[in-house]
Structure formats: C-alpha cells, structure tokens
Amino acid sequence: MKKSYYFLWFRLHQTDQYLIWVQADHNLVYLETPSFLPTFSSKEALKQYAHTKQIQLEADPPVLHHLDLALGWLSNPQADFNCLQFLAAWHLFGDIARSVNKFFLGNQQKDRLTNQVYDKLFGGNNRPASAYDPHWTVTELKRLAEVLTQGFQLMKGVTKEIKR
C-alpha cells in the first residue's frame, strides 16, 4: 500500500503541536530515528521539515486531538468525558506504539476488559448521544485510566520538538 502523509494536530499542556501521521498498511507516525518522533510548534515548521525530508504532505486540514482533555480527566477519573477525544488519543497512542515497536495496553486485542472499554468509547463516538450513552463500571474506568496513562508516558518518552 502506498504511504500517505498527513498533518496531525494535537494540544498538550495547553500548547498546540504537530506531527506527521502516516497512513499505510498500519497507521503510524513519522519517526526521525527508530525511537524519536519529531513534533513541531506550527504547521509551517512541519511543512519546512517535510520539504527537507522530501515528504509530500496531503492537503487535508488537520483535526485537533485535544489531549489535555484526557490528561485533565486522569486527575479526576470519575468526571464525564468526551468519547470522541478519548478515542482519538487512544488511536494516536496506539499508532505511536506501533511505530516505535513498544507495548501499548490499548493495542492488546486479546484483553477482554481493554476491548470492552474500547468498544464503549467507539460506540459513544459513533452514535448520537441519545441513542447510546455508555455506562462505565469502576473497573472499566480504571482500565481506561491505565491505557491513557501508559499512552502519555509512551508519547513523552519518544517525542521531541524540532525547533525551526
């Protein structure tokens, strides 16, 4: 399958950042080295970097991955949350893990509880709120917190902003 490269926009610690998301057989993120994921403070900085690496970025406008919502929820995991944003964070963390070949609890398809949590996020994302409003058990919320916490730790360990 041909690789396509896209802007991925995320907000973390109240700062907008960008990285290169790669659509291929498996969704990935662009790595500078096998364990280094470059991030950028602006779309323009990412464009300049991509140009130097001869990466052709697709023109699709990026959609915000508001990671601060998930990070904030971790300090109060009983609060309501946005399934769409949490699912986007889960997918991003999964793509990062796959790219750097690291374990990520959210990618473990054989774990029943993790699958149950993912399915509820997915269902809450794809249906009108009146049609499906997931009800979460304490065990499910704990697993969601574990997945997100591990994802943030993974992301922190492999990302570094490229200053241009």
Rounded-to-integer distance, Cα 94 and Cα 105, Å: 9
Phi then psi for residue 72, to 5 deg, are -65, -40
Tally the residues of the chain.
164
pLDDT at 77: 86
How does pLDDT run across 42-71, given as a tens digit for each residue? 999 999 999 999 999 999 999 999 999 999
Query: Residue 80 belongs to what domain range?
Result: 4-161
Q: Which of 8, 38, 12 is nearest to 159 (CA)?
A: 38
Higher pLDDT among residues 77 and 49, named by residue: 49
How does pLDDT run across 87-137, given as a tens digit for each residue? 999 999 999 999 999 999 999 888 899 999 999 999 887 655 556 678 899
Average confidence (pLDDT) over 28-52: 96
* DSSP category for residue 36: B
pTM score: 0.93
Q: Share the mean pLDDT of the chain.
A: 92
Task: Provide the number of structural domains found in the chain.
Answer: 1
pLDDT at 134: 83
pLDDT at 110: 87
pLDDT at 51: 97
Q: Where are the alpha helices (DSSP H) in 53-162?
A: 67-74, 83-100, 112-126, 138-158
> Which residue is it, tokens 């396509």?
4
